[in-house]
Amino acid sequence: MEPNTLLDSVLDEAGISHAGLAAHINEAGRARGMKLRYEHTAVARWLKGQRPRGQVPDLICEVLGERLHRALTLDDIGLGTPGTPRAPSTPLSGFVERATALWRSDEQQRPHVIGAPAVTGTPAVIPVWEWENPPEDSDVSRHGLTRVSMTDLDMLRAARAHYEQMYRKAGGIATRARVVGFLNSETAPLLRGAYGDDMGRQLHRATGGLVAIAGICAYDSNAHGLAQRYFHQALRLAKASGDRGLGAYVIALLVTQSLFMKEYRQAVAFAESALRAAGSQITPALAADLYAMQAKSYAKLGDGHSALACIRRAETAAERIRPGQEPDETGYVQPGLVNIQVAEALLSLGDLGAAREHATAAVGTPAHDRGRVHRLAMLTHIELRQGDADRANATAVEMTERARGMESQRLRDRLRAVREHLAASDCAATSEAAELIDGALRVPF
């Protein structure tokens, strides 16, 4: 079940509590000869995604519609009949309302939204399938009160770059509230504004890049269901923009999440979809990252032949990267990234020598602190596997120092994993690094 953010948003707009809605539903039911005994717990279940029975959805529309002095449909409150065909997406009005409702619920820290688990199986695959396949959006123009200008688009692009840098320096936990606040205060009014088709496509592209950052921050905060919904939103925005390259970038984020969730076959399939559908619009940097992540997935699945083939494709694509010829979104594919991805794949395949060579090369290449922490963690693991405890201790010490001050669940995961490897080595030479990691993990955020 996915949280019903539309109902949550309408409830908030109406200024009615869960208990208040339940009481009004019971009263409206009695007027129709129905004996209803709903309490606030039932409303909480509806917000988590459970569908009310019988005529109750219509009663909810009636109660909230009277409160807001406007007619509401089942689609308006997220309770449209399951299995019915979707309304045409152009001019994306329905999507916009659902997207902005999620942003609002996130900013208000709604537990049923933040704590929702990521979906798997068919629900996880459908957004990728819809991005890759027809129909396309023939017209994304919209009539609204405020006309969108190029200045507005420049603001969105600058915000994306700003929040990306903040995420790299401070972590997703510290950054998420700010980017979501920006989506609500600045981006939502623009999506609901007035724009022609060309301006609309640029607006959806700029918004997609910003929403992707919100997803990255949610992923980094361990809010995986929320992150996935942001990624799916960004993918829909990419489709509306007509930019296949942006869509492939968003799918790369979904591949990263799939790897974390150990959905290795899904990771391979998603990466293949991006490579296939983006075609000539895919850049060398993005292709290199997608092939490298496929290599990691195949290695985890025990398919060494396919993993090595993807490593070769990743390295070939990396050689074609030209600074200044990549979009802003693929700036994360810095020199050395493919090396560390390949090192992880080779480690899974048991080739420790080649894995260490690639990891050492990655660490020797300049990178922002966040990326460097991940690279040092991988090198530490490999050095321990090879029995080089002294070198591993020094590498882990540097990793821990680099991680200080960053509010990131993913980096804490990295620190914990390295601490476990150090403990498993049962070597006195690693005590300094172990103590530093213990201290870093005790610092709350």
| Confidence (pLDDT) at 19 | 94
**Alpha carbons within 13 A on the beta-carbon side of 125:** 10
Q: How many residues does the chain have?
A: 445
- Domains of the chain (ranges, CATH numbers): 5-75 (1.10.260), 90-242 (no CATH), 368-445 (no CATH)
| Confidence (pLDDT) at 145 | 84
Assess whether pLDDT exceeds 80 at residue 88: no
Summarize the confidence of residues 158-180 as an average pLDDT.
Answer: 96
Mean pLDDT (the chain) is 93
For the stretch 50-74, pLDDT in tens is 999 889 999 999 999 898 888 888 8
- Range from 47-51, 90-94, 123-127, 222-226 carrying the lowest mean pLDDT: 90-94
| Confidence (pLDDT) at 92 | 67
- In terms of phi and psi (left: phi > 0; alpha: psi -120 to 50; beta: otherwise), the region of 59 is alpha
Summarize the confidence of residues 18-31 as an average pLDDT.
Answer: 93
pLDDT band (50, 70, 90) for residue 376: very high
Token representation of residue 350: 């048991």
Write the CB contacts of 389 (distance below 8 Å, at least 6 apart in sequence).
383, 425, 427, 429, 430
The string of DSSP letters for 94-162 reads HHHHHHHHHHHHHHTT-HHHHTPPPP-SHHHHHHHHHHHSSPP-S---B--SSB--HHHHHHHHHHHHH
Strand partners, 142: 195
Summarize the confidence of residues 359-384 as an average pLDDT.
Answer: 95
